[in-house]
Structure 1
Amino acid sequence: MSAVLAWLVGIIDVAQFLPQAGRTVGQRHDHRAMRSLSIPTWTIATIQGTAWVVYGMGTHHYAVGVPNLIITPICATILALRLRSARATRRGPSERSAAPAR
């Protein structure tokens, strides 16, 4: 029973990050919306996820480690998009328009 509960909690843990990830990816070009994301919060979430992966895998608590293998890249992606938005905001409009298209 406790193993089932552990995996259920892991699934719920992953699911809690999906709405923010979807919203962040969808609004990644809206620098005003991206400013509402806290860089320290997503840095901590990424570090915390990494630590849980190391702990979970190292202690063979896979119900802890495996969900965080999914959560950590989600947090890192949100952080990376927020940092990219911050860099683009710091550049002036002329520099943004002069940047090569991807």
Structure 2
Amino acid sequence: MKASCNMFSQILKHASSRTTSVFKPKFQSLVVRRGYKRAIIAIGHKILRTIFFMLKRREHYRDSAVDYEALSVQCNAPRWIKSLIKFGFIPPAKA
């Protein structure tokens, strides 16, 4: 039991310190009003509710602070351009 509590507290500290996580701004606003320990517990409650709804709806986690479509385009654009050149839709660049 103690090991699982320790692991959960590490998860909470990580979630509250990440810059791209939606939990960080919430954590920072709670620390000012409620203090560090209560803010950690509140973020833990928020994470548990998020996990519950993910399992209930059988969905993957989608952080509202991250633009997944832009990440997909950024990762795949070079491959798409290479394919367009390969199939002749874009003429190859002349050096």
TM-score normalised according to structure 2 size: 0.29
Higher gyration radius (CA): 2
Identify the structure with the greater helix proportion. 1
TM-score normalised according to structure 1 size: 0.28
